[in-house]
Structure 1
Amino acid sequence: MEAEVHRLDVSHTGGDAYTVEVRGHRIRVDQPAEAGGTDTAPTPTELFAASLATCVAFYAGRFLHRHGLPRSGLRVRAGFVMATDRPARVASVRIVVVPPPALPEERRAALLAVASHCTVHNTLEQSPEIGVELAP
């Protein structure tokens, strides 16, 4: 059985801005003005960190829901640092899960364990094969 291929399409919209289309949704990316863009949207690197943070939030939220605990007040904060050498890349990402105020103390460790095993985190831990090619 072949694995399902999930597809998206990126198109240039002007300057350093691009639009990503995925399943009928549109996400815009740009670069800050100091990097030559017009700062109309997050950068691809910011969306990379946001992808990890939202995946952690989703897993945490599902854990809370499964256990009949409120998700109200659940937050996830992310910060990243760029590498100072080449190639250009993110050197580190720090994710902080802010649990809902009503979360019982004895559930905190389980929430963190589940949240830290989200799909994006697992992908970063076990790097996928990546192919970049030029269309004919």
Structure 2
Amino acid sequence: MAHATATIGADRYRTDIVAGGHALTADEPAALGGGDTGPAPFDLLLAALGACTAITLRMYAEKKGWPLASLDIDLTLSGPPEARRIARTIRPVGLDAAQAAKLADIAERTSVTLTLKSGLPIATTLI
């Protein structure tokens, strides 16, 4: 089970996060009144999708014994709140066209991809 905590104090929007036992910092850019001391929340969302995609595709290539030298994933979130979308570009190095196409197919079924596409109920408790 995944677990994270987020704590905000007096430093305007700077938020200290602990996720999976690792410390991170989130913030807003200066243009939005933050100190730009870390990625903004939507940047972290894209990072999570990118990491899941990269790890899953690396695992798949290793399982198949494919010569994947490297993998670059570029992600962009755009659109207004009611029509947001993510564009994901995958650039594998060292694979033939059929292998690369299979990785693109697998990317559509990573756990974070499926979670984002299906939506996720959030239960909030105030204590």
TM-score of the superposed pair, with normalisation by structure 2: 0.89
The equivalent of 1:7 in structure 2 is 3
Determine which of 80, 90, 94 is the counterpart of 2:87: 94
Which residues of structure 1 form unaligned runs of 5+? none
Are 1:67 and 2:64 matched, yes or no? yes
The equivalent of 1:132 in structure 2 is 124
- Displacement, 1:106? 1.9
Highest RCO, 1 vs 2 (Cα 8 Å, sep ≥ 6): 1
Which residues of structure 2 form unaligned runs of 5+? none
Structure with more helix by fraction: 2
Q: CA RMSD in A?
A: 1.7
| 2:8 maps to amino acid | H
Give the distance between the partners of 1:10 and 1:28, measured in 2 at CA: 9
Indicate how the Cα distance of structure 1 residues 31 and 90 shifts in structure 2: closer, same or farther if over 3 A, else same. Answer: farther
Indicate how the Cα distance of structure 1 residues 106 and 6 shifts in structure 2: closer, same or farther if over 3 A, else same. Answer: closer
Residues 2 and 20, structure 2, Cα contact 8 Å, conserved in 1 = no
- Displacement, 1:82? 4.0
Count of equivalent residues: 126
